[in-house]
Amino acid sequence: MTTYIYAVVHAGHPVTVEGSTGVGAPPAALREVRSDDLVAVVSDAPEGLRAKRRDLEAHQRVVESVASAGTALPMRFGTVAPDDEAVRTALADRAERYRELLGTVDGAAEFNLKAADREEAMLRELLIRDPDLRELNEALRARGGGSHDDRLAFGGRVAAAVDTWRSANAERILAELRPHAVRTRVGPAVDGCAANISFLVATNARDGFEESVRRLRGDLSAHTELAVYGPLPPYSFVD
């Protein structure tokens, strides 16, 4: 029976896995695998585990629960070991690194920010700002949109302007929020968002972080929608 791993914690972590379950149908019972001062929260790995909603939710639920109770290293979804003994060996072999990582994320949580454009308002501003772009737009409008090639060339210029605009937006967000974070990680654009940034925020800095988020949200509201998710397990700061 293979072993599914959710998180690594210190032996002193107040985690109680008894009675809790994780991935699989029916959900597998959680247990602990200990090596010296490190503990892995694991369960049996179900046959044919896939990245389906049910198991993604189960993984996240377990990791969230462990991380909210104390310092934890969240595993990437879908990590499977041959058996518990292999987990124990891995903990022992990498103990130094895991202790160091636990120190890094101690007393802090991840907040993931995603910025989305309010497209129409953004494009309007870009046209107002750039007289050339605006004239081009008016000319194409007058010709019922212009030829395919005209629209493609114009659209390409708009896309470049959008890209520059998004970069400036991301810089602004970083400048405002980075001072509140222990670490920052800029992620790929997903789900159509213009900026995707994770912040590792210490518990005592959370109020200041959230206050700055509120201010930013107000300042940028005309053209940008900010969503901030957290506190989350520190996924972005342990890999």
For another protein, the binding residues in 98-127 under the rule CB under 8 A are: 101, 110-112, 114, 119-121, 123-125, 127
Residue 227 is a binding residue for another protein (CB under 8 A): yes
Identify the residue among 145, 147, 178, 218 touching another protein (CB under 8 A).
145
Q: How far is the CB of 110 from another protein (least distance, A)?
A: 7
**Three-state DSSP state, 17:** coil
Q: How far is the CB of 209 from another protein (least distance, A)?
A: 9
Identify the residue among 141, 203, 215, 218 touching another protein (CB under 8 A).
141
- Rounded to an integer, what distance in angstroms lies between the CA atom of residue 99 and that of residue 4? 21
Residue with tokens 């790929």: 188
Q: Which stretch binds another protein (CB under 8 A): 31-39, 145-153, 176-184?
A: 145-153
For another protein, the binding residues in 4-63 under the rule CB under 8 A are 5, 7-8, 20, 45, 49-53, 56-57, 59-63
Q: Binding pattern to another protein, positions 168-207, x when CB under 8 A?
A: xx-xx--------------xxxxxx---x-x---------
- Rounded to an integer, what distance in angstroms lies between the CA atom of residue 49 and that of residue 59? 12
If the CB atoms of residues 28 and 111 are measured against another protein, the closer one turns out to be 111
Q: How far is the CB of 131 from another protein (least distance, A)?
A: 10
For another protein, the binding residues in 61-100 under the rule CB under 8 A are 61-65, 68-69, 73-82, 86, 90, 94
Closest CA to 108 of 41, 199, 39, 38: 199
Q: What is the number of other CB atoms lying within 10 angstroms of the CB of residue 177? A: 21
Q: What is the number of other CB atoms lying within 10 angstroms of the CB of residue 144? A: 6
Closest CA to 198 of 116, 117, 114, 73: 114
What are residue 114's DSSP bridge partners?
A: 196, 227
If the CB atoms of residues 184 and 196 are measured against another protein, the closer one turns out to be 196
Cα distances from 197 to residues 35, 75, 97, in angstroms, run 34, 20, 25
Counting residues that bind another protein (by CB under 8 A) gives 101
For residues 8, 17, 30, 235, the Cα torsion angle rounded to the nearest 10 degrees is: -30
DSSP 22: -
Q: Which stretch binds another protein (CB under 8 A): 31-39, 135-143, 176-184?
A: 135-143
